[in-house]
């Protein structure tokens, strides 16, 4: 089963670090898993997200592009369903 939230980012990206901290905090509260993808290590991810990072892809739901907050993530998770 894929992670409910996939974060696309790259090392040395301040906003990526902020998004990662936010996602891990929310995931811990809700009992969800987060997968972090380094777009510099995956060609397909680089092509899709290089101009959009950090981006949080919700399984079965939308992809959020920074800036986003906990409220945005909760709405996206609700949109994705159970």
pLDDT in tens, 36-73: 999 999 999 999 999 999 999 999 999 999 999 999 99
Q: Which CATH number fits domain 5-80: 3.40.50.450, 3.40.30.10, 3.40.980.10, 1.25.40.10?
A: 3.40.30.10
Terminal Cα distance for the chain, rounded:
13
pTM of the model: 0.93
**Residue 37 phi, psi (nearest 5):** -110, 125
CA 61/CA 12 separation, integer angstroms? 28
- Band of the pLDDT at 81, cuts 50, 70, 90? confident
Structure tokens given for 40: 């510099």
Q: What is the mean pLDDT of the chain?
A: 94
Average pLDDT over residues 11-27: 97
CA 27/CA 73 separation, integer angstroms? 10
């Amino acid at each position: 089963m894929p992670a409910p939230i996939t974060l696309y980012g790259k090392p040395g990206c301040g906003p990526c670090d902020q998004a990662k901290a936010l996602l891990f905090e929310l995931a811990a509260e809700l009992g969800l898993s987060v997968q972090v993808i380094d777009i510099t290590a995956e060609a397909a991810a680089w092509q899709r997200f290089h101009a959009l990072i950090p981006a949080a892809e919700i399984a079965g739901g939308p992809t959020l592009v920074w800036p986003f907050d906990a409220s945005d993530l909760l709405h996206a998770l609700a949109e994705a369903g159970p």
